[in-house]
Amino acid sequence: MPTPSTDRTVRPLRRRFARVATEILSPEVWVLALPLIVAWQVTGHHIGETLLWGLIVSITGSVIPMAVIRRGARQGKWETRHVTNREGRLIPLTACVTSLAGGLLIVILGGAPHEMIALAASGVVCLIASIAITFGLHFKISMHAQVAALAVVVLAIVYGPVLLVLALLVAWVCWSRVELRDHTTPQVLTGALLGATLGGLGYWALATALV
């Protein structure tokens, strides 16, 4: 059995390791990077189109919502930018849906590649489902797990199944949320399942249908 001194040494290290995952694999990071990575592939590595369509989805899916969320955190409307209290998630999630829906409209009207339309649409669908689960079922689904799982499945679809190795990152961030006691195991598993199916496979279904 570990001694008290060993436990005092290991636990802070575990929490630091968990905190790293929570920060570098946060939804805002995934949503900022994913559209650009997808756009690079689906535009045939065209820099101009990659930046155009990728940034539209990145900005409306990550930058604008996080500006709202960070401002609310500074004003004390919710605990942190990760919005760990379930009751405080209505405004942040609504801001995410509204902003990304605006991005979806722009890429549709702008004639973006169908994959970019599918990416934005699958994100909107996941966010709406998250609101329904969070407030309809009073269940604090993990957005960290959801977005990470969605991103990994989408990357595997766009670049090939070898990228499913990134599922290790999903496991890391899921563990981190439980380790930091921001979520329970059922909450992170539900988030990951929703992200992989409704988000990732939803992206595939939409992209296929829009061809």
Residue-range domain boundaries for the chain: 16-209
Q: Which residue has the higher pLDDT, 124 or 71?
A: 124
Distances (CA, A) of 109 to 53, 57, 113, 160: 12, 13, 11, 29
Instruction: Please give the pLDDT value at position 71.
Output: 86
CA distances from 142 to 81, 103, 199, 210 (A): 14, 23, 14, 30
pLDDT at residue 4, as a whole number: 52
Closest by Cα among 34, 86, 21, 26 to 60 = 34
Of all helices (H) and strands (E), which one includes residue 58? Answer: helix 47-58
CA angle 75, 78, 84 (to 5 degrees): 150
Mean pLDDT of the chain: 91
